[in-house]
Structure 1
Amino acid sequence: MSPTNSEIAALDGEGRIPAYVARPDADTTRAIIVIPEIFGVNEGIRKKADDWAALGYLAIAPDIFWRFAPGVELSPDVESEFQEALGYFGQYDADLGVKDIEAAIRWLRSQGATKVGCVGFCLGGRLAYMAATRTDIDASVGYYGVMIDTMLNEAHAIAKPLMLHIPTEDHFVDHAAQAKIHEALDPNPKVTLHDYPGLDHGFAATMGNRRNDDGAQLADSRTRDFFAEALA
């Protein structure tokens, strides 16, 4: 497995998106986009990309804040950095963000990938849902995606498999929002929802105070099995 810092072309000639790329030891036609939380492409996100490469996928983690805070790396366990990240979240345009996911899909296909999936966390989980509704990605997974309940009018466009991991005590996604997500998506045969009773936002973080090891291992095993089938 060989990790590198790289750049990919944004859509519409907007510029170049910094990205962390982890290549597997052998050539592959399967790829994963790791979409960061609001904390940037930090150590935890890079480790997730490395883990996918170790499983034989070409993995890329694009810098979703590249337009206004390129290269930022923050820790959710440091209060000042957490507040800084919330500020970036407030600036972020998710409509532009999903275009950046589309750019990553195109780049991965230019690298020989015939099957492309994405897995996102927090804001990245929202983008994973948007990728499922707005792009031709082959499979998407969202962990504790925020604001999905406000975008359920797009659910009819889901054409490829989507999995969402929902901690029931997510303090950013309340019970009412979770109920709306279930009501809208449970009937869709393309969508799989997993609830994690008692767990909070960030439970599957690679490291740090938010991680719940049992919950993270369960969710990650489900994600690995999901991609193994959907990207076969």
Structure 2
Amino acid sequence: MTTASRVDVPTTAGDMPAHLWLPEAGSGPGILLLQEIFGISRYVEQRASDLAGLGYVVLAPEIFWRLGVSKVPEGPDMLEEAMGLLPRLDWDAAVDDAAAALGHLRGLGSVTGPVGALGFCFGGGLGFALAAREPVDALVSYYGSALPDLLGLSPQVTAPSLHQFGLADSYIPADTVARIEDAVAGPEVEFCTYEGADHAFDNPDLPMHHPEASEQAWAATERFLATRLPVGPAGG
């Protein structure tokens, strides 16, 4: 059985709240889980539990903590409220906080193997920026919303990576997805696209959810992680 707890991650601006999931074994490789724009939502918590069920130690920091936000309340104004947070967010500070969380995760006694990053939407772009700056053993980015503006960092992202995009994304047009694919291409990069899938297709709590794409993308994620962050004797 997996277990979840709240922890504090020291940063230059104080302690950042975070959430930690341990696998049944109590130890394993680490995954830094980076939130979507809705914060540590029910969906993020579920995916963290899924990853812990695969044998990973999962840390999900509250990246909006400097704005006093853990998660955006569900409701009809959810998207508008979440989008209103982004102009107030200090991107460089968010990358700093993600780096602090990565270092904290690496230092946990329960982490006994490699450490990767996995992010959704906002977190997908944040994970890419983090991987350009800090050593991570693997990166999984779901429809990274900031990626079109971060492609200049591509040469610095040397970790094995998996990118997942829907080809009916309302925020990232298919031609932009193709541009991203060209920019990040390399021998250690996997790039998966899904016909008919919108932005946030993996989130069952949103109207853009695409069950078939979600299932296929999660299967690709599990395969990628099993190779790059193996659990067990080879991985921890």
Structure 1 stretches of 4+ moved >6 Å: none
RMSD between aligned residues: 1.5
Who is 1:29 aligned against?
A: 28
Cα deviation, 1:194-225, whole Å, max 9, x if unaligned, reads 11111100100143422211111110111111
The residue that corresponds to 1:92 in the other structure is: 89
Classify the secondary structure of the residue corresponding to 1:60. Answer: strand
Amino acid corresponding to residue 5 of structure 1 in structure 2: R
Which residue of structure 2 lines up, in the alignment, with residue 44 of structure 1? 43
- Partner Cα separation in structure 2 for residue 143 and residue 165 of structure 1: 5
- Whether 1:224 aligns to 2:225 is no
* 1:109 equivalenced with 2:91 (yes/no): no
Contact 2:164–2:191 (8 Å) recurs in 1: yes
List per-residue Cα deviations over 1:62-120 (Å, max 9, x = no partner): 10100013323333xx3312100000122222222122221111111111323111111
Which residue is equivalent to 1:183?
182
Q: Is the 8 A contact 2:29 2:115 kept in 1?
A: yes
Give the Cα separation in 2 of the matches to 1:219 and 1:156. 25
Q: Is the 8 A contact 2:200 2:206 kept in 1?
A: no
Counterpart-to-counterpart distance in 1, 2:51 and 2:31: 7
Aligned-partner Cα distance in 2 for 1:169–1:216: 14
Relative to the length of structure 1, the TM-score reads: 0.92
Identity of aligned residues (%): 30
> Who is 1:3 aligned against?
4
1:123-138 equivalences in 2 (<5 Å): 123-138=122-137
Paired residue type of 1:6: V
What runs of 5+ residues in structure 1 fail to find an aligned partner? none
For 2:26 and 2:36, the matched residues in 1 are separated by 28
Q: CA deviation at 1:192?
A: 1.2
Distance 1:68 1:166 in 2: 29
In the other structure, the counterpart of 1:197 is 195
Contact 1:164 1:193 survives alignment (8 Å): yes
Asked if the contact 2:72/2:82 (under 8 Å) is kept, the reply is no
Residue identity opposite 2:169 in structure 1: D
The match for 1:162 is: 161
Q: Distance in 2 between the 1:169 and 1:209 partners? A: 14
What TM-score, normalized by structure 2, do the two folds share?
0.91
Q: Give 2:207's aligned residue.
A: 209
For residues 131-163 of structure 1, give each alpha carbon's deviation from its aligned partner in whole angstroms, at most 9, with x where no partner exists: 221110111111111121221111111221111
Partner of 1:74: 73
Unaligned runs of 5+ in 2: 231-236
Equivalent residue of 1:79, what SS? coil
**Distance (whole Å) between structure 2 residues aligned to residue 174 and residue 121 of structure 1:** 17
The AA in structure 1 aligned to 2:82 is: A
The answer to whether the Cα contact below 8 Å between 1:147 and 1:173 also exists between their aligned partners in 2 is no
CA–CA separation in structure 1 for the residues paired with 2:31 and 2:98 = 11
Partner SS for 2:135: coil
Structure 2: which amino acid aligns with 1:99? D
Quick one: distance in 1 between partners of 2:150 and 2:87?
17
SS of structure 1 residue aligned to 2:117: strand
